[in-house]
Amino acid sequence: MSSPLLHVENLKEYFEIRRGLFGKRGYVKAVDGVSLTLAGREAISIVGESGCGKTTLGKTILRLYEPTDGKIIFRGKDITHLGWKELKWYRRETGLVQQDPFGALPPFMTVKRILEEPLIIHGIKDRKEREERIYKALEGVKLTPIEDFINKYPHMLSGGQQQRLVIARSIILEPKMIVADEPVSMLDASVRIEILKLLQDLQTRYDLSVMYITHDLSTTRYFSERIYIMYAAHIVESAETKELLVNPLHPYTRALLNVIPDPDPSNRFLIKEVPTGEPPNLINPPTGCRFNPRCPNFMKGICDAKEPSLIEASKGHYVKCWLYG
């Protein structure tokens, strides 16, 4: 394998919080030592339940947050602590698709203006060229006929159309990588697949690398090559999509698979465990394995004593669990 597009190593993002006026300082450790690799034209999924730090991970990688620790290497360049000016090329090489399409669009701008903004910011002075690229992007996301959309405001579009516009904006600078943070979770079930297929299509057409963030394992099936399971700011398991879905190792992954609404009735009773209990507090996470209070395979004295390390259980299949270490 050639050198990857993106390499994230032991990334940490802590948010400082203060309880009350003179309260003790604490940290929400939203991302706590995450490592991952994304090759060119590869799609990976980050899967985990609400509040585990997926969004924070994505935003930190995009340098919307200043990383607390760790390293982000993009195309061989360390961008972990670059300043705003030096980051400009990185902004051009990356795109973001957010969860709430309506919120992600400035309500006072027209479709045209929305798509023009990144082009203006990145110094494309020629109006004609900008227009051409806007048309190309709109065609790319199938917001056609373009004339019907170009002068509309976001509130005049349906949710699916809004998300297409957000996607068009994320690819208009022809980036190498986009982070899609739950791009379909706020959409009608009827358009979800459509949007996912669009992303998939764009990925191949634009040679994009995609980091797909979701809490819904079922959607990764259509889409990604590798899955990272995130739990309480840690990556607890990662493997190629097929391997992970067929042979889940971590009890948390298994629990997640269980909650997938599986259309195939023969699979319906395959897995028994259900994740009980609350997601852990990221200010004071459980000692040992962070999943131990909810784990069906909990081993007293081991799981709550020491944090397991990430081991390679089989080729390319990593897991962070005492069952395997």
Partner 1 sequence: MSTFKQTLRQLLIYKSALIGLIIIIILVGISIYAILAIPYDEATKLWRAGEKYWLESPRNALPSWINIFSSKKMPETIVLDTKKPKPGVSKAIIPVAEKFSNIKVEFSFNYEYDDFPSEINIFFESNHTASVPKLTVYWVKPDGEEIILANLLISKDDRYYISNDEKLARELKNIISKKINKTIDYEAPITLLLFAQEDAGILSPDTVKVMKGNYKLWIDGIIFETNVNLDAKLVVYGKVYGWAGTDHLRRDLGIALLWGAPIALSFGVTASVSIALIQMFIGAVSAWFRGITDNIVQRITEIFMVIPFLPILIMISTFYKFNIWVLLVVVIALTIFGGGVKNYRAMFLQIKEFPYVEASRAYGASNLRIVLYYLIPKVLPTIIPSMVLSVADFVFLEAALAILGLGDPLTPTWGKIIDDAYSNGALYKGLYYWVLEPSVMLAAASLSFAMLGFALDKIFNPKLKEI
Ligand X SMILES: Nc1ncnc2c1ncn2[C@@H]1O[C@H](COP(=O)(O)OP(=O)(O)OP(=O)(O)O)[C@@H](O)[C@H]1O
Joined together, the tokens standing for residue 269 give: 């009773």
| Of 51 and 118, CB closest to Mg ion | 51
Stretch that binds ligand X, among 47-55, 83-91, 102-110, 219-227 (CB under 6 A): 47-55
Task: Report if residue 179 touches ligand X, rule: CB under 6 A.
Answer: no
Q: How far apart are CA 164 and CA 325, in angstroms?
A: 44
Task: Report if residue 46 touches ligand X, rule: CB under 6 A.
Answer: no
Interface with ligand X (CB under 6 A), residue total 14
Residue number of the CB atom closest to ligand X: 55
Backbone φ and ψ for 72, nearest 5 degrees, come out as: -125, 115
What are the angstrom distances between the C-alpha of 271 and each of 65, 193, 218, 248, 257? 38, 25, 15, 11, 8
- Applying the rule CB under 6 A, the residues between 180 and 209 that interact with ligand X are none
Task: Report if residue 287 touches ligand X, rule: CB under 6 A.
Answer: no
Q: Is 89 exposed, middle or buried (0-12, 13-18, 19+ CB in 10 A)?
A: middle
Stretch that binds ligand X, among 46-54, 120-128, 134-142, 307-315 (CB under 6 A): 46-54
Task: Report if residue 224 touches Mg ion, rule: CB under 5 A.
Answer: no
CA angle (238 as vertex; 233, 243 as ends), nearest 5: 150
Residues contacting 170, CB < 8 A, separation 6+: 95, 96, 97, 178, 180
Q: Contact positions toward partner 1, by CB under 8 A?
A: 59, 62, 64, 84, 87-88, 91-92, 94-96, 98-100, 103-109, 117-118, 121-122, 166, 169-170, 173
- Which entry of partner 1, Mg ion, ligand X, none binds 50, CB below 5 to 8 A by partner kind? ligand X
- Which entry of partner 1, ligand X, Mg ion, none binds 302, CB below 5 to 8 A by partner kind? none
| Cβ atoms of 162 and 101 closer than 8 Å | yes
Residues paired with residue 264 on neighbouring β-strands, in sequence order: none
Task: Report if residue 282 touches ligand X, rule: CB under 6 A.
Answer: yes
Q: How far apart are CA 223 and CA 210, in angstroms?
A: 10
What is the nearest approach in angstroms of ligand X to the Cβ of residue 281?
8
| Cβ atoms of 275 and 231 closer than 8 Å | no
- Applying the rule CB under 6 A, the residues between 52 and 71 that interact with ligand X are 52-56
Task: Report if residue 55 touches Mg ion, rule: CB under 5 A.
Answer: yes
Joined together, the tokens standing for residue 70 give: 């760790």
Q: How far apart are CA 41 and CA 208, in angstroms?
A: 5
| Of 151 and 247, CB closest to partner 1 | 151
Task: Report if residue 6 touches ligand X, rule: CB under 6 A.
Answer: no
Contact residues toward Mg ion (CB under 5 A) are 55
